[in-house]
Structures are given as structure tokens and as C-alpha cells.
Amino acid sequence: MGMSDTETGADVRTPEEVENAEQDVVTVTPDDERTGLANRLDAHTGDGIRHRAFTCLLFDEQGRILLAQRAARKRLWDTCWDGTVASHPVEGQSQKEATRERLEEELGISPDQYDDLEVTDRFEYKRYYMNDGVEWEVCAVLQATLTDTSIDPDPDEVGGVLWADYEDLHENPRHYRQLDLCPWFEIAMRRDFE
């Protein structure tokens, strides 16, 4: 009778890793020109593979930013606080299309709650997360203002949400030191105030 992976001590993939291994990301040059596709799990392990990503920062009409905590099930930067939503467009999908889709899936925010979604920046970065993986992305930043701030977070994706004064978050990080921020959000915020 054979032994299971757990009994033999072999690596067992988490549900998040299984999900990632079944998806591709768009590989890109530093200028965000498409070069091909890579398995999503492969792109986030070892030394990583540069790929296309986005982060979206949503604001209310008073200029507060909606932060979302990544769910504990996330393989990388689990329980860290992010801008409103971040992910990867799939082949043939624009940054705006991908952002609209993830806002609806993760936070229940529909396109009729905002009308000014725009790409405001783009940057390349590479960061390792403990011994679990890496992000090497050309990240587009999209921003919009919510005219209707009602949300319905998916607990499989979002651990928590909070509204923060964006300028205060940037200028007084010690006031928010209990929030472990995702690196791509910190970069996007810093660049926003440069």
C-alpha cells in the first residue's frame, strides 16, 4: 500500500498554489511589451519571471483610499494590506478590463460605482517574500473615485478593508505601522506623491 504525499513528507500544494499552477501570466519587457506567457506559479517562484500586473487605488469623494487586506490563504503577502485590489491581466485582457473584473470579484464593486478609471502610472519592481516566492512585475497603477462606496468583500480574497486618509498614510507612516503594506502599493503611493 502506497503512502500519501503528506505521510512521505513530499511537498503538497496549497489550494492557492494549485489555482496559480493552472493559470498563465503575460510576460513582458521592462517597457511592458508582451513577450509571451508563463505559468503563474513559475513566474512567482525561484528568481521569478517578469510579468504584467496592476494595482488599483480607489478613493471616496473625500479623498480617502480604500485599503484591502489580502486573505490569509494567499501564498505571497498573505494578510498584508494592499491598495484596493491587485492582480494580473490574462492574455488579451486590458489593464482596465482586468481591474474591473477583480474589483467585482474581490470587493463586489461594479463599474457603475465609478466612471473615471484611468491608468496613472507604471513601474517595474522585484521583491522576494520570505522563502515563499517573488514578485517581478511591470505594474500599472489605476485610480478611480467611488461615487457609491458600498462593498461586499469576498472572504476568500479579502481579509479586511479600511478607509484611510491617503495623504496622511503617505506622510505619517508611523501612524499606520500596524499595517504591513504590500511593496507594490508602497511604491505606487510613494510615486504618487513625488
d(CA 101, CA 96): 9
Q: Is 91 a catalytic residue?
A: no
pLDDT of residue 18: 54
Tens of pLDDT, residues 39-77: 999 999 999 999 999 999 999 999 999 999 999 998 888
Torsion angles phi and psi, residue 60, rounded to 5? -90, 180
Closest CA relative to residue 194, chosen from 186, 179, 142: 186
Q: Which residue blocks in the chain are alpha helix, DSSP H? A: 5-8, 15-21, 40-43, 95-107, 166-171, 183-192
Cα angle: 95, vertex 98, 100; to 5 degrees: 105
Q: Is the pLDDT of residue 13 over 90?
A: no
d(CA 117, CA 138): 19
Rg of the Cα atoms in the chain: 17
Is 135 annotated as belonging to a binding site? yes
d(CA 113, CA 97): 15
d(CA 112, CA 51): 29
Is 137 annotated as belonging to a binding site? yes
Tens of pLDDT, residues 177-187: 899 999 999 99
Looking at per-residue pLDDT, the higher value among 19 and 147 belongs to 147
C-alpha separations of 183 from 62, 126, 161 in Å: 25, 9, 18
**Active-site annotation holder among 137, 157, 167, 194:** 137
Is 170 annotated as belonging to a binding site? no
d(CA 28, CA 13): 27
Tens of pLDDT, residues 122-136: 999 999 998 889 999
Is 167 annotated as belonging to a binding site? no
